[in-house]
């Protein structure tokens, strides 16, 4: 009788401490992963934030691979001991890795130094996740009879971590939060020691957690006093040490949205503006405070005593062109920043001004911390501040405004560095502008300011394409009659009205433009650019854009990448346009993609192939397809939903946290459900979850955009609940394939479960960057549907395995 066909040998049992330890490890893993996106937004640029997902997956997969390649180091009888050790090393390595990140510059350039810098930081950042991967792999592969419950603990812990990080960043700064998170794996080691009844191992975890927690809270207190021990040094690729002397007038605050820093300028200086008229009287001096958001996004706070004459110079800024044509107006400002647009409305004597700002830390700094400096604008009866996401606030507003103003809402740093070229933006899409125009009075103006100068015309052209497409979809036959655009270095302002501009409007604006020596680009009666005239006169603006050197097509909610104007296929054709700020982010994305693929092959795929025992893997190609496909599918669906909900929820941190929390929580519940559904071995019943998963994904692929549009005007809490409701059924079904696959392949002795874990992880790493590339090229929905195809391939692979039987 062949013993391999007999009943499987008794397997070790996970104790309650094992579940608790695994929960804490995955909790801290997700918290650190999301925190890295915030830190990368400051130390690098926002468009590198998605790399944190890739780094975490890469590190955890390498950790699982180590377990597979070094079985002598991880014998079954020492599982609890290795769980203790790996969780402690995870804790310590978070601290050491973070300290290394702080001391090494990041060079986001398409050069040898840039590639080396990116690769080195990628590897350094992945080290903690390697130890996390070892711990998680051991927990999920050494207790096969409890895989469903353990995988559920894994995913639920990760889900809680996704939500907990938002709370933590409201309590402490990011460097302190890193140390606090590092304490959690130490606590996990304590629970693993309890599960293994290894009392001597209680104390290292206890001591480590105590020290780290004490330091985290101590550094938080010192941070609030502007003299922390641990703080960021490299900011946006440059040395950015903050002067934390107690006498310093600087103010710094973190939350889940951003880091803000305020720095007082010495004495009075030249007034700041996005496009000041050459006719501005000389000698004007203004006391201002610099406001920096994340790495370099910029605005200023202005000293104001309540007298509008004090800020008369704002009338010379091109951003305020609309105020000359609409007097006694109700104004809505999108993105308050340092309050310049609020002051502008007051300087023009407008009837009312509502400022909508998503980041409550900015409002707190403007009206409370520096309220005496800014004149407590919140106390002016004409001024209303709203802490909300602007697009949804406008959509549900019952008011009609005479002016809706977006003055470089993403600030100069976004363009000069290319920082937002790869990010979703919910304010610059056809759907958003249609909503804005709906909430204007019949002759109101949507006023949008971006950058424009010779050699940097693309943002202005894309604004024109976006306005033209929006107006055409509203049934406007001649969009040019509704548009007026003029500027002066470095800014240009476009006015868009639901109604054709009257002769009086055109005359008034022409008079101001001539008096201020602004340069008109396109008006109903004049054009300074053949390209601008061709855009607003095109019957199909996107067809016109398809033949343009840059991608200036009108962004939509399905492709909301306003600042991404270089087509990825130009990388392969060698026909890249010559504009560094727009091309460099795409080159860096390409470099990162290549680096991720190479590192994944060298550190994951190649070792697997070189060490795989041919006899063990014989006949297991269907399982290879299965685990690779679910790795690709899960991440493609996850990232595409994250991008889609970034637009719906209005900020990346909401999209990231809500998507990860919902998918991981309900995937954990789905995994737990397989305890009753799945059966060890090659049983047909194991295909049953796919009968629900694939139709479910197809339905939600079509339904999600409809639901998102319907709830576009809902409050933030309701939109979060809506997003969770969309994600819950998908997460429930997507949590089932992995534990089912592990149960099937682990049904016989010497099953290479870590090998398939490694394949699943390798494809997940690649999918995290592949999803971004697909979305940029063909839209978010394309990335989602590719994920659905992957799940179909996974179902086919499992079906073939079930039909073939055991090798």
- In 356-422, which ranges are continuous DSSP H helix? 360-364, 371-374, 390-396, 411-416
Domains of the chain: 8-227+581-804 (1.20.1250), 288-545 (3.40.50.150)
Report pTM.
Answer: 0.84
Asked whether 471 and 541 are in contact (CB, 8 A), the reply is: no
Average pLDDT over residues 364-383: 94
- The number of angstroms, rounded, from the C-alpha of 258 to the middle of its chain's C-alpha atoms is 12
Q: Percent of the chain beyond pLDDT 90?
A: 41
Asked whether 555 and 430 are in contact (CB, 8 A), the reply is: yes
pLDDT averaged over every residue in the chain? 83
Q: CA end-to-end span of the chain, whole Å? A: 17
Is residue 50 very low, low, confident or very high in pLDDT (cuts 50, 70, 90)? low
* pLDDT reported for residue 662: 86
From residue 460, give the alpha-carbon distance in Å to each of 332, 451, 553, 554. 22, 7, 12, 12
| CA–CA distance, 674 with 788 (Å, rounded to integer) | 21
Is residue 430 very low, low, confident or very high in pLDDT (cuts 50, 70, 90)? very high
| CA–CA distance, 536 with 464 (Å, rounded to integer) | 7
pLDDT tens column, 272-331: 899 999 999 998 999 999 888 776 567 889 999 999 999 999 999 999 999 999 999 999
Which residues does residue 493 pair with via DSSP β-bridges, in sequence order? 449, 486
- Name the pairing type of β-strands 440-451 and 491-496: antiparallel
* pLDDT reported for residue 86: 95
Is residue 410 very low, low, confident or very high in pLDDT (cuts 50, 70, 90)? low
Lowest mean pLDDT among 242-246, 408-412, 697-701, 715-719: 242-246
3 has a pLDDT exceeding 50: no
Average pLDDT over residues 65-94: 90
Residue 692, judged by CB atoms within 10 A of its CB (0-12, 13-18, 19+), counts as middle
749 has a pLDDT exceeding 70: no
Higher pLDDT, 234 or 736: 736
Helix (H) or strand (E) holding 705: helix 688-710
| CA–CA distance, 405 with 355 (Å, rounded to integer) | 10
Residue 324, judged by CB atoms within 10 A of its CB (0-12, 13-18, 19+), counts as middle
713 has a pLDDT exceeding 60: yes
Residue 634 neighbours by CB under 8 Å, 6+ apart: 734, 764, 767, 787
pLDDT tens column, 602-622: 877 788 777 766 555 666 788
419 has a pLDDT exceeding 50: no
Q: Which of 548, 546, 523 is nearest to 536 (CA)?
A: 523
* pLDDT reported for residue 674: 79
Asked whether 464 and 480 are in contact (CB, 8 A), the reply is: no
Asked whether 781 and 789 are in contact (CB, 8 A), the reply is: no
Asked whether 233 and 239 are in contact (CB, 8 A), the reply is: yes
pLDDT tens column, 8-44: 445 577 888 999 999 999 999 999 988 887 787 776 6
* pLDDT reported for residue 583: 66
| CA–CA distance, 632 with 788 (Å, rounded to integer) | 10
* pLDDT reported for residue 412: 34
Around Cβ 7, how many Cβ atoms within 10 Å? Answer: 6
Which residues does residue 406 pair with via DSSP β-bridges, in sequence order? 448
| Highest mean pLDDT: which range of 55-69, 116-130, 441-455, 493-507 | 493-507
Tokens of 316: 């010379």
Is residue 45 very low, low, confident or very high in pLDDT (cuts 50, 70, 90)? low
């Amino acid at each position: 009788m062949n013993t391999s066909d007999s009943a499987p040998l008794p397997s070790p049992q996970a104790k309650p401490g094992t579940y608790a330890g695994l929960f804490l490890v995955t909790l801290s893993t997700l918290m650190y992963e999301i925190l890295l996106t915030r830190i990368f937004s400051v130390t690098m640029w926002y468009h590198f934030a998605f790399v944190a997902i890739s780094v975490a997956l890469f590190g955890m997969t390498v950790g699982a691979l180590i377990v597979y390649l070094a079985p002598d180091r991880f014998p079954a009888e020492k599982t609890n001991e290795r769980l203790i050790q790996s969780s402690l090393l995870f804790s310590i390595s978070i601290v050491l890795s973070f300290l290394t990140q702080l001391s090494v510059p990041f060079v986001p350039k398409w050069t040898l130094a840039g590639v080396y810098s990116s690769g080195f930081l990628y590897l350094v950042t992945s080290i903690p996740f390697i130890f996390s991967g070892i711990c998680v792999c051991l927990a999920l592969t050494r207790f096969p009879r409890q895989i469903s419950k353990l995988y559920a603990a894994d995913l639920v812990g990760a889900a809680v971590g996704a939500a907990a990080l938002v709370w933590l960043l409201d309590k402490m700064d990011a460097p302190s939060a890193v140390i606090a998170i590092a304490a959690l794996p130490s606590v996990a080691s304590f629970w693993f020691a309890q599960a293994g009844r290894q009392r001597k191992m209680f104390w290292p975890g206890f001591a480590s957690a105590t020290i780290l927690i004490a330091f985290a809270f101590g550094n938080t207190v010192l941070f609030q006093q502007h003299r922390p021990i641990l703080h960021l040094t490299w900011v946006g690729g440059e040395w950015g040490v903050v002067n934390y002397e107690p006498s310093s007038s600087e103010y710094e605050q973190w939350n889940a949205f951003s880091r803000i820093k305020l720095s007082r300028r010495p004495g009075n200086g030249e007034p700041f503006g996005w496009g000041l008229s050459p006719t501005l009287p000389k000698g004007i001096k203004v006391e201002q405070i610099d406001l920096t958001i994340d790495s370099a996004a910029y605005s200023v706070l202005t000293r104001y005593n309540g007298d509008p004459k004090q800020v008369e110079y704002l009338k010379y800024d091109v951003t305020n062109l609309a105020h000359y044509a609409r007097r006694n107006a109700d104004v809505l400002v999108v993105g308050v920043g340092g309050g310049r647009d609020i002051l502008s409305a007051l300087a023009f004597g407008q009837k009312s001004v509502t400022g909508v700002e998503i980041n409550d830390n900015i409002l707190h700094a403007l009206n409370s911390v520096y309220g005496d400096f800014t004149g407590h604008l919140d106390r002016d009866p004409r001024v209303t501040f709203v802490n909300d996401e602007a697009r949804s606030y406008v959509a549900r507003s019952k008011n009609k405004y005479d002016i809706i103003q977006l003055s470089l809402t993403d600030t100069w740093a976004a363009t000069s560095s290319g920082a937002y070229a790869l990010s979703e933006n919910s304010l610059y899409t056809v759907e958003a502008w249609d909503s804005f125009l709906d909430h204007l009075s019949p002759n109101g103006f949507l006023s949008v300011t971006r950058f424009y100068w010779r050699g940097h015309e693309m943002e202005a052209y894309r604004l024109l394409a976006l306005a033209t497409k929006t107006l055409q979809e509203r049934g406007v036959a001649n969009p040019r009659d509704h548009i007026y655009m003029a500027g002066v270095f470095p800014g240009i302002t476009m006015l868009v009205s639901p109604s054709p501009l009257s002769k009086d409007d055109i005359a008034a604006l022409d008079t101001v433009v001539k008096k201020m020596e602004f340069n008109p680009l396109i008006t109903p009666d004049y054009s300074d650019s053949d390209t601008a005239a061709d855009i607003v006169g095109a019957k199909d603006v996107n067809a016109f854009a398809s033949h343009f050197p840059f991608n200036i097509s009108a962004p939509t909610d399905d492709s909301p990448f306003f600042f991404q104007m270089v087509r990825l296929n130009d990388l392969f054709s060698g026909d890249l346009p010559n504009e560094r700020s727009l091309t460099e982010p795409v080159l860096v994305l390409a470099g990162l993609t290549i680096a991720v693929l190479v590192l994944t092959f060298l550190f994951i795929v190649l070792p697997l192939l070189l060490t795989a025992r041919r006899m063990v893997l014989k006949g297991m190609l269907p399982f290879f397809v299965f685990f690779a496909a679910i790795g690709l599918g899960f991440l493609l669906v996850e990232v595409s939903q994250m991008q889609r909900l970034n637009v719906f929820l209005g900020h990346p941190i909401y999209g990231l946290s809500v998507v990860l929390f919902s998918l991981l929580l309900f995937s954990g519940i789905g995994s737990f459900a397989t305890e009753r559904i799945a059966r060890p071995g090659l049983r047909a019943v194991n295909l049953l979850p796919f009968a629900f998963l694939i139709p479910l994904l197809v339905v939600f692929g079509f339904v999600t955009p409809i639901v998102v549009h319907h709830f576009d005007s809902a409050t933030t809490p309701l939109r979060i609940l809506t997003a969770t409701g969309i994600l819950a059924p998908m997460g429930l079904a997507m949590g089932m394939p992995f534990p089912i696959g592990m149960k099937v392949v682990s049904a016989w002795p010497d099953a290479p479960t870590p090998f398939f874990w490694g394949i699943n992880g390798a494809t997940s790493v690649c999918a995290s960057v592949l999803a971004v590339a697909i979305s940029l090229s063909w839209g978010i929905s394309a990335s989602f549907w590719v994920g659905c195809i992957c799940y179909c391939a996974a179902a086919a692979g499992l079906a073939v395995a079930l039909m073939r039987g055991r090798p």
